[in-house]
Structure formats: C-alpha cells, structure tokens
C-alpha cells in the first residue's frame, strides 16, 4: 500500500490548514479533478485518489468491490497528517467516499451524481460485451466519445471501466447505515443514474445536517458544465471547517 501510487496532489499545499479528498467516478482517473484541484489549492490541501488500472497505474488489476476500495483507501488516508477534511465523491466515487467515511469519519461529506446507499436498482452493465459497455459510457457522456473510438485506447481503458462497474453494481444496499458528519448531495435533475428523490434519500444516512443541491438541466456529468457552481459548493463546505 504505497501512498504515492494512490494519492495525487496537482498543487501541493503542505501548509494548508484543511484538506479536500476527491474520489473519481467509475472508469475515472485523478486527472478528471485537475481543474478542481487548481481551483482550491494552495489554501486547501487537495488530494485526489488514483485508482488501479488506469493512467500511470494501467498495469495493475482493477478492484472489483466497493469494500475493497474503501478498505485500501482508508488505510492510505489514515496515515495522512491530521487536519480538518472534506470528502468529495462523484458517482461510484460517492459510494466509495461514503464507505471510507464510515471507517475514518471526516468532518464533512459531499456526494455527487449518486443515489443514496439505501436505494436499489438492478444493473448488469459490467456483464455486457465491450460494445455494450462502451455504449453505456457514451450514454453518460463521461469520456470523450471520439477518443473512445480508438481501438488501442479502448483496449487500455475498458478493463478498468468493467471492474469499476462490477464493484458498484454488486455493492449491496446499505439501509440504516449512517455517518456522524454533515452530508451534502449534488445532483443534476436529468441524471439517468439517479432521480432527485433517490439523491434526497442521502438524508437518511447522516445523524447530522443534510443539504440537497439540484442542478437544473444537468445530466450525470453536470459538474463539468457547472464547474464554477460546484467549486462554490465545495468552497462553502471547506469554509465551515
């Protein structure tokens, strides 16, 4: 468990008084959060997770369960210097961030583009052939469609995407599980993976305050279109530390 493999700091801020930890989506990599990291550092120590099976960790096998993700990440983050911390996760990253929160108890949790852990849908995207898996990625518009037409790139990224989809689609519902920190949920009102009502049920998973922010006209990756507003939300959360 080498922290250098898991953690990326695009603008190191060792003297910062607070920390923001970012958890990428299924198939996503640390570079997705590069603009966000630059927006909040150096006032905040922005730490971005880099999962196995992508970019500079391409040679490593992907992780196939959310609990395995959470156990490994919790071990890495527990060794970080203590400072007030916000976790921010999008899509699958929200589920992982919640499970790590259950293990480590950060000060605040912000979840994005993900229905609450107590909700349940039957999804089997990870069982599709490569064409079917690619079709789902394009549907959610999380990766540049033109780039995904390149066979060589497809061969490289599909294993990580498939293992991530297996992890999130086989993760059981978590009714009744709560964390003690405040939770904020961000969702696009046109997100095909979660209704606003499903996102609102995150309130059932905290014993502290809860806040829901809905982005009108936003799809699953609303946070790229509304980057400024999302950064404002995170700045507000960090200011509360």
Tell which residue, 195, 190, 200, 198, has the closest CA to residue 221: 190
CA dihedral 222, 241, 39, 165 (to 10 degrees): -40
Residue-wise over 121-154: b if at least 16 C-beta within 10 A, else e? eeeebbeeeeeebbebbeebebbeeeebeeeeeb
Which pLDDT tens digits describe the chain residue by residue (241 residues)? 799 999 999 999 999 999 999 999 999 999 999 999 999 999 999 999 999 999 999 999 999 999 999 999 999 999 999 999 999 999 999 999 999 999 999 999 999 999 999 998 888 888 888 888 888 887 787 554 555 555 567 677 889 999 999 999 999 999 999 999 999 999 999 999 999 999 999 999 999 999 999 999 889 999 999 999 999 999 999 999 9
> Quick one: which H or E segment has residue 238?
helix 227-239
> Length of the chain in residues, anyone?
241
CATH number for the segment(s) 3-239: 3.40.50.1820
Which pLDDT belongs to residue 3? 93
**Rounded to 5 degrees, what are φ and ψ at 211?**
-140, 135
Q: Catalytic residue, from 29, 31, 91, 194: name it.
A: 91
pLDDT value of residue 121: 83
Give the helix ranges, DSSP H, for 142-206.
145-148, 151-169, 196-200
Nearest to 48 by CA among 19, 22, 72, 75: 22
| Residue 41 exposure: Cα atoms within 13 Å on the Cβ side | 22
Angle between helices 66-78 and 92-104 (to 10 degrees): 50
Question: Residue 142: its pLDDT value, please?
Answer: 55
* Residue 139 pLDDT: 77
Q: Are 165 and 134 in contact (CB under 8 A)?
A: no
User: Which residue bears the tokens 């976790």?
Assistant: 87
DSSP for residue 131: H
Neighbours of 57 (CB within 10 A): 17
91 assigned to active site: yes
Domain boundaries, the chain: 3-239
pTM value?
Answer: 0.94
Q: In 3-state terms, what secondary structure has residue 1?
A: coil
């Amino acid at each position: 468990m080498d922290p250098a493999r898991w953690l990326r700091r695009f603008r190191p801020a060792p003297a910062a008084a607070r920390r923001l930890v970012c958890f990428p989506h299924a198939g996503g990599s640390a570079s997705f959060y590069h603009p966000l990291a630059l927006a909040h550092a150096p006032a905040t120590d922005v730490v971005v997770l880099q999962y196995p099976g992508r970019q500079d960790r391409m040679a490593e096998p992907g992780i196939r369960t959310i609990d395995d993700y959470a156990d490994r990440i919790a071990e890495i983050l527990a060794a970080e210097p203590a400072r007030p911390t916000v976790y921010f996760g999008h899509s699958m990253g929200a589920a992982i961030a919640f499970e790590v929160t259950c293990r480590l108890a950060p000060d605040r949790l912000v979840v994005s583009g993900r229905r609450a852990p107590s909700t349940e849908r039957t999804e089997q995207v990870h069982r599709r052939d490569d064409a079917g898996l690619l079709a789902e990625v394009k549907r959610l518009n999380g990766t540049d469609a033109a780039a995904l037409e390149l066979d060589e790139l497809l061969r490289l990224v599909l294993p990580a995407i498939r293992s991530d989809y297996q992890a999130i689609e086989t993760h059981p519902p978590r009714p009744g599980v709560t964390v003690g920190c405040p939770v904020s949920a961000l969702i696009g009102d046109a997100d095909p993976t979660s209704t606003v009502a499903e996102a609102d049920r995150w309130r059932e998973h905290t014993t502290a305050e809860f806040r829901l922010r809905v982005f009108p006209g936003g799809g699953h990756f609303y946070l790229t279109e509304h980057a400024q507003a999302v950064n404002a939300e995170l700045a507000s959360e960090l200011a509360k530390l």
